[in-house]
Chain A
């Protein structure tokens, strides 16, 4: 503990030193002056994330942070700065730098005709020189071109098409990154954690594409500012809202419709955006003559809302929220589930070199189900998880060669794993409650990105994370056979268990030449909160549980090495990455685990190690009429867990050696675009029966070792055509028809394989596959104004 407080003190001391250094008279640190400001979209006033600033004379530069802020400090002199962003016309400005300057830049989106020429020159080489690896940025435009299931454009489905990322089940929005569990992905929406990112049992994600500005996926090299999950960080940023004029977008689709409106509250000062979506499958179901179908009601809806205010030159406030709910109901049963997130962020510039953001956040996931009142089995069952947190992140830009980030965060977790109670007078059920539990998860970090000469970029950081279980709480004590011996009850407010540790993150980029670079990275991540689910599909009943005296945090170490090369003068970006990941205290579940409404859930857990390794190849073409990418992943992942599979190593459920995705978009003319994607993956590992016993007139399976068989290989082709309406001068309204065909050659991909006893002849058993989607065409009309 002593050591920890010492480090804490050092970090805090360093923090104040920096604040002091960055303030007031020290502005001209080392004789440098600062050019800083925001880079925005000229059309809407939206901040551009990751836009680049290049100092021509020095061949160095910087890029904007997630709030569109940049800062670069240079020795006095004359400089030409080029501000650029993919899909926007670059802006060049000359500075005679004698004093620090604020310069907000607005970039104009390129018209379709100009596109190709502009992007090339500026963007070239950026991917090579960046200090980060295993990161994929997807802009909403790219995602929109991808053919989608039932026309529902979805960022999570788009992400699954990247190397190293897999869908966990057909059509689902759950994903596994580099062999990790879906619960090892940190998904944040404007900084607030999204605990269950799916609608309709995973067939749709909670992200409404129209409300989203920017998506970044970190597959391994997770930045020091983020923590709490082992495998990946999916950083989703909502639109800020049009600062210039009221505008909108929306779509009418086969299964849902959506509408987004945005506009200024006060021009160039404040703005709002509101976005909503609802499915209407239930409307059609009600029309069905089949009673079993028309009594079922199933739908989801969600809202995104955000406001942002430029309070002063140095202060900015964002308030954003998401609320979504799924509803399923028929006369005998009802069920609902949903997420909500809320974040309030305050950006403040302490000086032109020191940017800060403070976030206050809340996020919750809840579900409930039950049988309506009036029957002997009437009950209501509800579960919930709520986070409240505060974070502070600071960025310090002392000179063009260093970008420092540091900050702290703390989150209060509240777990309500489930309470079930009988409803009405004549119900058999009493109240059954799994005790709530509480925990505080905190982190401190500091990191620096440093350029050494013109060839080497270093990125190094250290995160210190701590997790504390806090009363009131009940902890069951288990014997070696996972049977409960007794329980310990802790009073409210008492911290009864603490885990803490360092999470070093480091990376190096070495520019081999103009066309290629080599990158290395290492990261350690610690995960304190885990998902109680042993289905691969992910269900609405997913509930999270904290580390505790019985459950150690999972710790992952990942090494990655990558070679990046630009071909044909930057037209094609190619990369090859290899990685090796080890997880300590990996969690799996005992056979026949009972994860729902179980007070002794921790007795169902089994612990061990897991590892994953692989090679990822990506060829991406961002310019020209034909754009898209081809990705290939060769990977393995396995687990060794005491108490599962008799302690022998087995394949993880996400072990898919080969995975190919081809995503192409061809712009025939400015109005007509064709899209196609094709995916191929080795079948998921599964356990099949090898023997049979007849018990109670049933053929009972005797299984192979865990996951020794595989599902049939998976492949699928999707196609789309997008036709843009004619642009009419003087009219802002623009419509677009999108025809998508999911599973174009109607491959019957197995979703599940069951072994079935023949009803007519019970001695005969056979294998039967269930497939969900045959060919599914869909038509969507999108518009914006």
Chain B
């Protein structure tokens, strides 16, 4: 929430630049090349499978091409008792069957083998312990005239534990928060054990919904490491200025050794409301 507080400010501060007449312009910059890293995106939830892991390779910054998918890798997830093998269903996309369902409290280990980078075969591993999500009481939808958005509001009681939340929103079962910078991540550091009183946790552009649409709010309990990962990613892909940004830095990863991306275990709950 600390970062969320900060974001409130960032929303507000662009108005300073109005005062000082800032402008932007594309420029050409020569950048060096860098070596290739494995990029992992995936996780396991407490919802019915398939559970999915996507593998790709990093490129040079101005490559401006789709990612290279990692095909033919050996991917498995284990919870200490069972090991589930993931099957490559499309280039770089590895899935379990629908019967694999995560259980809060368990620690999941991702093992990746047979990845060839620059001619060398490498292995990677990651682990994540699934936190337990608390219940929502209800959700609200309220149109906000000046921002031209629908606010998705949450009514829930935060449990006394240290919690990290991830909020995403669907319209008619289609995920609207489909890029990671649209995820809303909050820690309860500043409201531990409190009631949420309909605080805005997601939003929808006016144009993206119409009366009668069903809006689904998804609240996930995530680990602190995953929350940090998303915050760092949002910082590093957001607008930076000499005023409020620290020096750029690589985002963290729980995939060892030296990979990018994250393998996360999370439990989630959903609630629906209809736009009127």
Interface string of A170-185 (1 = CB under 8 A from B): 1110000000000000
Contact residues on A (Cβ < 8 Å of other chain), bracket:
35 or more
Asked if A752 lies at the interface with its beta carbon under 8 angstroms from chain B, I say yes
Q: Are A706 and B64 in contact (CB under 8 A)?
A: no
> B9 near A: Cβ within 8 Å?
yes
B39 contacts A693, C-beta separation under 8 Å: yes
Which of A171, A754, A757 has the most C-beta atoms of chain B within 10 angstroms of its own C-beta? A754
Closest residue of B by beta carbon distance from A699: B237
Per-residue CB proximity of B235-247 to A under 8 Å, as 1/0? Answer: 1110111111111
CA distance A449 to B88 in the complex (A): 81
Find B247's partner among A281, A430, A706, A754 (CB 8 Å cutoff): A706
Taking a contact as CB atoms under 8 Å apart, the answer to whether B25 and A430 are in contact is no
Known contacts A376-B200, A429-B190; decide if A592 and B16 are in contact (CB<8 Å). no
Residue of B nearest to A758 (CB): B64
The residue of chain B having its C-beta at the shortest distance from the C-beta of A425 within the complex is: B197
Quick check: B194 and A430 within 8 Å, CB to CB?
A: yes
* Cross-chain contact of A770 among B24, B200, B233 (Cβ < 8 A): B24
Residue pair A428, B191 in contact (C-beta under 8 Å): yes
The distance in angstroms between the C-alpha atoms of A687 and B29, with both chains bound, is 12
A694-B39, A700-B260, A754-B240 in contact; A689/B196 too (CB < 8 A)? no
- On whether A692 and B180 interact (CB within 8 A), knowing A698-B233, A700-B233, the answer reads no
B248 nearest CB neighbor, chain A only:
A687
Q: Mark A673-694, 1 if CB is under 8 A from B, else 0.
A: 0000000000000111111111
Closest to B40 in A: A695
B179 within 8 Å of A (CB atoms):
yes
Q: Quick one: which of B33, B244, B246 contacts A592, CB cutoff 8 A?
A: B246
Name the distance in Å between A434's Cβ and chain B's nearest Cβ: 11
B116-165 interface (Cβ within 8 A of A):
146, 153
State the CA gap A748–B32 with chains docked (Å). Answer: 25
Q: Which of B52-60, B78-86, B204-212, B213-221 contacts A (4 or more CB under 8 A)?
A: B52-60
For residue B27, which residues in chain A have a CB less than 8 angstroms away from its CB?
Answer: 712, 750, 753, 767-769
B residues less than 8 Å from A538 (CB atoms): 243
Residues B161-187 near A (CB distance < 8 A): 178-181, 183
Q: How far is the CB of B22 from chain A (nearest CB, A)?
A: 5
Within residues 284 to 300 of chain A, which ones have a CB less than 8 A from any CB in chain B?
Answer: 285, 291-293, 296, 298
Decide if A120 is an interface residue (CB 8 Å cutoff).
no
Instruction: Name A693's contact: one of B2, B25, B58, B181 (CB within 8 Å).
Output: B58
Q: Assuming A371-B8, A377-B200, A703-B250, is B61 touching A765 (CB within 8 A)?
A: yes
Contact with B along A427-450 (1 / 0, CB 8 A): 111101000000000000000000
Residues on A with C-beta less than 8 A from B250 are: 591, 702-703
A104 close to B (CB within 8 Å): no
**Inter-chain contact B194/A537, CB cutoff 8 Å:** no
Q: Which residue of A has the minimal Cβ distance to B64? A: A764
User: Using Cβ atoms and an 8 Å threshold, which residues of chain A touch B8?
Assistant: 333, 371, 377
Q: Report the bound CA distance from A328 to B181 in whole Å.
A: 27
- Interface membership of chain A positions 758-779, coded 1 if the CB is closer than 8 angstroms to chain B and 0 otherwise: 0000011111111111100000
A169 touching B190 by the CB < 8 A rule?
no
Q: Give the total of B residues in contact with A, Cβ under 8 Å.
A: 84
| A591 partner, pick from B29, B59, B61, B249, beta carbons under 8 A | B249
Our pick among B6, B180, B239, B246 for the contact of A695 (Cβ within 8 Å) is B180
Tell me the bound Cα distance from A771 to B39 in angstroms.
Answer: 34
Q: B2: nearest residue on chain A (CB-CB)?
A: A597
List residues of B (9-58) whose CB comes within 8 Å of A's CBs.
9, 12, 15-29, 31-35, 37, 39, 41, 56, 58
For B35, list chain A residues within 8 Å (CB).
Answer: 691
Assess whether B269 is interfacial by the CB under 8 Å rule. Answer: no
Q: Cβ of A247 < 8 Å from any Cβ of B?
A: no
| CB-based contact A293/B60 at 8 Å | no
Given contacts A291-B146, A429-B191, A750-B27, contact A774 B242 (CB under 8 A): no
Contact B28 A767 (CB under 8 A): yes
A539→B244 CA distance, assembly (Å) = 7
Distance in Å: Cβ of B245 to nearest Cβ of chain A: 6
Contact A698 B196 (CB under 8 A): no
Chain A positions within 8 Å of B25 at CB level = 748, 768-769, 771
A254 at the interface (CB under 8 A from B): no
In the complex, the answer to whether B192 meets A770 with C-beta atoms within 8 Å is: no
Asked if A426 is at the interface (CB within 8 A of a chain B CB), the reply is yes
Q: Is A201 an interface residue (CB 8 A)?
A: yes
CB proximity of A745 to chain B, nearest CB, Å: 16
Provide the residues of chain B in CB contact with A171, threshold 8 Å: 20
Say if the beta carbon of A488 comes within 8 Å of chain B: no
Q: Among the listed B15, B33, B180, B197, which residue makes an inter-chain contact with A293, where contact means beta carbons less than 8 Å apart? A: B15
Interface check B198, CB cutoff 8 A: yes
B70 to chain A, nearest CB (A): 12
- Distance between A709 CB and nearest chain B CB, rounded to angstroms: 8
CB atoms of A695 and B2 under 8 A apart: no
Expressed in whole angstroms, the Cα–Cα distance for A534 and B248 within the complex equals 11
CB distance from B109 to the nearest CB of A (A): 21
**B179 partner residues in chain A, CB cutoff 8 A:** 696-698
A residues 165-218 with Cβ under 8 Å of B?
Answer: 168-172, 201-203
- Residue with the highest number of chain B CB atoms closer than 10 Å, among A285, A328, A597, A692: A692
* Chain B residues near A695 (CB-CB < 8 A): 39, 41, 180, 233, 260-262
Contacting B190 at CB < 8 Å: which of A432, A700, A767?
A432
A420 adjacent to chain B (CB < 8 Å): yes
When the two chains form their complex, are residues A376 and B31 in contact, meaning their CB atoms are under 8 A apart? no
Q: Which of A236-283 contact B (CB under 8 A)?
A: 281
Tell me which of B3, B19, B191 has the highest count of chain A C-beta atoms within 10 A of its own C-beta.
Answer: B19
Q: Does B247 lie within 8 Å of A702, measured CB to CB? A: no
User: In this assembly, does A228 line the interface, its C-beta being within 8 Å of a C-beta of chain B?
Assistant: no
Assembly CA distance A111 to B174 (angstroms)? 80
State the CA gap A296–B232 with chains docked (Å): 30
Contact with B along A442-465 (1 / 0, CB 8 A): 000000000000000000000000
Any B CB within 8 A of the CB of A535: yes
B64 adjacent to A428 (CB under 8 Å): no
The distance in angstroms between the C-alpha atoms of A768 and B24, with both chains bound, is 6
B61/A281 in contact, CB under 8 A: no
CB neighbours (8 Å) of B193 from chain A are: 430
| Max chain B Cβ within 10 angstroms of own Cβ: one of A168, A369, A770 | A770
Q: In the complex, what distance in Å separates the CA atom of A432 from the CA atom of B194?
A: 13
* B residues in contact with A694, CB < 8 Å: 39, 56, 66-67
Contact in complex: A774, B21 (CB < 8 Å)? yes
| Chain B positions within 8 Å of A536 at CB level | 242
A596 at the A/B interface (Cβ < 8 Å)?
Answer: yes
CB distance from B148 to the nearest CB of A (A): 11
A397 surroundings in chain B (CB, below 8 A)? none
The CA-CA distance from A594 to B181 in the complex, in Å, is 19
Contact assessment for B245 and A535 in the assembled complex, using a CB-CB cutoff below 8 Å: yes
Residues of B within 8 A of A201 (CB): 16, 243
Instruction: With A332-B12, A381-B5 as known contacts, state yes or no: A752 contacts B261, CB within 8 Å.
Output: no
State in angstroms the CA–CA spacing of A342 and B126 once bound together. 58
Q: Is the CB of A692 within 8 A of B240?
A: no
A450 to B248, CA, bound (A): 51
Distance of A322 from chain B, by nearest CB (Å): 24
Q: B197 contacts A376, CB within 8 Å?
A: yes
Which residues of chain B have a CB within 8 Å of any CB of chain A? 2-3, 5-6, 8-9, 12, 15-29, 31-35, 37, 39, 41, 56, 58-67, 146, 153, 178-181, 183, 189-200, 228, 231-233, 235-237, 239-252, 260-262
Please report A residues at the B interface, Cβ cutoff 8 Å: 168-172, 201-203, 281, 285, 291-293, 296, 298, 328, 330-333, 335, 369, 371, 376-377, 379, 381, 420, 422, 426-430, 432, 534-539, 589, 591-598, 653, 686-704, 706-707, 709, 712, 748, 750-755, 757, 763-774
Task: Beyond A201-B16, A695-B41, A765-B64, list 6 extra A-B contacts (CB 8 Å).
Answer: A291-B146, A537-B242, A692-B59, A692-B61, A702-B37, A748-B23
Can you list 15 contacts pairing A with B, beta carbon distance less than 8 Å?
A281-B19, A291-B146, A333-B8, A379-B5, A430-B191, A535-B246, A592-B249, A687-B247, A696-B179, A697-B178, A704-B31, A704-B32, A754-B24, A764-B64, A768-B26
